[in-house]
Amino acid sequence: MNSRADNFYADWRERRRAVAALRDDGSAPPEKLLQAVWQHQRLQRDKLKTADGQSVRVLHPGFASVEGGPDFRGAVLQFANEKPISGDVEIDLQTSGWHAHGHDKNSNFKNVVLHVVWEEVQSPKSKTQSPLAVLPLKNFLDAPLAELALALENESGLPENLRGKCSAPLRELSESQLAELLHAAAKVRFQNKADAMLARAKNSGWEQALWENLFRALGYKNNIWPMQNLAETKPRWTRGTNSAFEIQARLLGVSGLLPDELTRAQKNSDTFLRRAWDFWWRDRDEFEVCILPREVWKFHGLRPANHPQRRLALAAHWLAAENLISKIENWCAVEIPDKKLLASLHEIFQIERDDFWSWHWTFKSARMIKPQPLLGEARVTDLAVNVILPWLWIRARAGGNEELQREVERRLFAWPVAEDNSVLKLARQRLLGTSNARVLKGAAQQQGLMQIVRDFCEHTNAVCDDCRFPELVQCLKSKAQS
Ligand code: SF4
């Protein structure tokens, strides 16, 4: 094979990259390249010094954040001869970025322990204002910038030496051993959910426990608690309602999410709002005690399709369909081929059409050209794995119906993969050494991996101090060999 020097294509590519790398901000590299340099630690690691002259040892650079906030989470660093500390790392081109980007006022950045920059701007103001250790990288690269740009261009995964301590033993497991391990962890997660439902059912009954969990699932991760609160007061605010629209109006009212003012720009929204207020203003006093303050809801980073107003509209339709629970019970009692599990449950939870919400993401958004479903398949999988299957299973166990329990378990392990998420993305790289989502075959394997993260990764740091999971993997391997 030709060396790179003989390869006209490689030569051309190198020159192009070298120019591109230096073009972003005068002499500074693009911030993305700086992040890649940090992630792959392409630095003279034994020489690193902060702007005020302290030596820094990077025991772990942290994990690239995929959900906003600081660029790297959970780094492990040692300043001078102090004890190692864990914290986040933010990367900016210049020190002034800390204030200019508003990180100093953003609570997501409160765990940042190191501000990595390209160079320290010699401004007395920024120097005195920065409460953090600042590490300028410009003089610590382990290769010329253009060479780094080329080398790191396609490196999106976690570098081999930053994988978890369990990654090597896990890769020695056969596919069936790995599946066995993930399924065992998934069972733990599933039973925990089911037990929590049982505890709730003992207090408030099976149906109420189901509704609370359905509402929680509609809250995604940011709005679980307001949704739980609404479900808890459901027996009160559903009283006397006769249609999905009436339930919707009351639900929007008690949630505190019914806008006080018309949009004056969207005719359809204003018509809907007037109708909803016509209904709600008569009820408002009666349900005053159930009304949530708007501040309990989180909207930051939500996709419009997941806005709580739209999710509440969906819940209103489920509540209006009086036979939802018997449909769920029936779904479990009939035989359904694995390939049709998702579609068959989707059919139960999908609603035909909502006059307003099928056409609007939010009150303020313009009417869509085509109607959009209120529930996608990805959400049905979340409902199945987190709510419906655990609820059916724990009820079957409480009723001593082992056959039904086995059938629910079978469905869990046959369920297709759920939507990918940031926990899975990192766990795949850290534990399984791959960014390929297809390595996990089915929702149960994803659940198992998330449980391992919860049981082990969340109790230690980025360098896996004192984690006993590698031992567990080793035991599984030895057991299989004996
Ligand atoms: S903390 Fe434990 S389970 Fe997590 S990556 Fe490290 S060794 Fe693996």
Q: Judge if 64 and 208 occupy the same domain.
A: no
Q: Which residues constitute the domain of residue 394? A: 175-414
One domain, residues 330 and 384: yes
Atom of ligand 1 nearest to the CA of 459: 1
Asked if 350 and 321 count as a contact pair (C-beta separation under 8 A), the reply is no
Does the pLDDT value for residue 297 go beyond 60? yes
Percent of the chain with pLDDT over 90: 54
Which of the listed residues 160, 170, 466, 469 should we mutate to test ligand 1's pocket, taking the one with most ligand atoms within 8 A of CB? 469
pLDDT at 16 over 60: no
Is 451 among the domain residues?
no
| Residue corresponding to tokens 């909207």 | 299
Residues 197 and 125 in one domain: no
Who's near 282: CB < 8 A, 6+ residues apart? none
Task: Indicate whether 301 and 392 sit together in one domain.
Answer: yes
pTM of the model: 0.78
- 157 — pLDDT class (breaks 50, 70, 90): low
Statement: residue 183 has pLDDT above 80: yes
In a domain, 437, yes or no: no
| 370 Cα to the center of ligand 1, angstroms | 46
Quick one: 250 and 216 in the same domain? yes
Residues with CB under 6 A from ligand 1: 164-166, 430-431, 452, 456-457, 460, 464, 467, 469-470
Q: Could you give the C-alpha distances from 371 to 247, 270, 361, 378, in angstroms and in order?
A: 22, 19, 10, 18
Band of the pLDDT at 23, cuts 50, 70, 90?
A: very low
Domain count, the chain: 2
Residue 116 and residue 213 share a domain: no
**Is residue 252 domain-shared with residue 347, that is, in the same domain?**
yes
CB-based contact 402:368 (threshold 8 Å): no
Task: Note whether residue 482 is domain-resident.
Answer: no
CA of 165 to the centre of ligand 1 (A): 6
Residue 482 DSSP one-character state: -
**Same-domain status, 211 and 303:** yes
Residue whose CB lies within 8 A of the most ligand 1 atoms, among 60, 86, 162, 165, for a mutation test: 165
Q: Is the pLDDT of residue 288 over 70?
A: yes
Asked whether residue 421 is domain-assigned, the answer is no
- List, for residues 63-83, the tens digit of each pLDDT value: 888 777 899 998 999 999 898
Whether 236 maps to a domain, the answer reads: yes
The answer to whether 271 touches 200, Cβ cutoff 8 Å, is no
- pLDDT tens per residue across span 106-134: 888 999 999 999 988 755 554 445 678 99
Q: Looking at residue 123, what is its pLDDT?
A: 56
Counting from 1 in the atom list of ligand 1, the atom nearest the Cα of 165 is 7
Which of 414, 439, 469 lies at the terminal end of a domain, its last residue?
Answer: 414
Q: Hey, which of 458, 460, 473 would you mutate to test ligand 1's pocket, going by the most ligand atoms within 8 Å of its Cβ?
A: 460
Q: Is residue 63 located within the same domain as residue 182?
A: no
**pLDDT tens-digit readout, 374-411:** 998 889 999 999 999 999 999 999 999 999 999 999 99
Residues 212-271: tens digit of each pLDDT: 999 999 998 889 999 999 999 999 998 888 889 999 999 999 999 988 777 677 777 888
**Is 283 in the same domain as 396?**
yes
For residue 29, being part of any structural domain is answered with yes
In a domain, 234, yes or no: yes
Instruction: Name the residue at shortest CA distance from atom 1 of ligand 1.
Output: 457
Domain identity same for 128 and 228: no
Q: Which of 358, 388, 414 is the last residue of a domain?
A: 414
Question: Which residues make beta-bridge pairs with 9?
Answer: none
> Mean pLDDT for the chain?
87
Is residue 469 domain-resident?
A: no
Q: Are residues 326 and 216 in the same domain?
A: yes
Q: Which of 398, 414, 430 is the last residue of a domain?
A: 414
> Where would I find the H helices in 284-401?
308-320, 324-333, 341-349, 377-383, 389-398
What pLDDT, on a 0 to 100 scale, did the predictor assign at position 25? 43
Q: What per-residue confidence (pLDDT) applies to 5?
A: 53
Dihedral, CA of residue 222, residue 225, residue 227 and residue 231, to nearest 10: 160
For 67, other C-beta atoms within 10 Å of its C-beta total 10
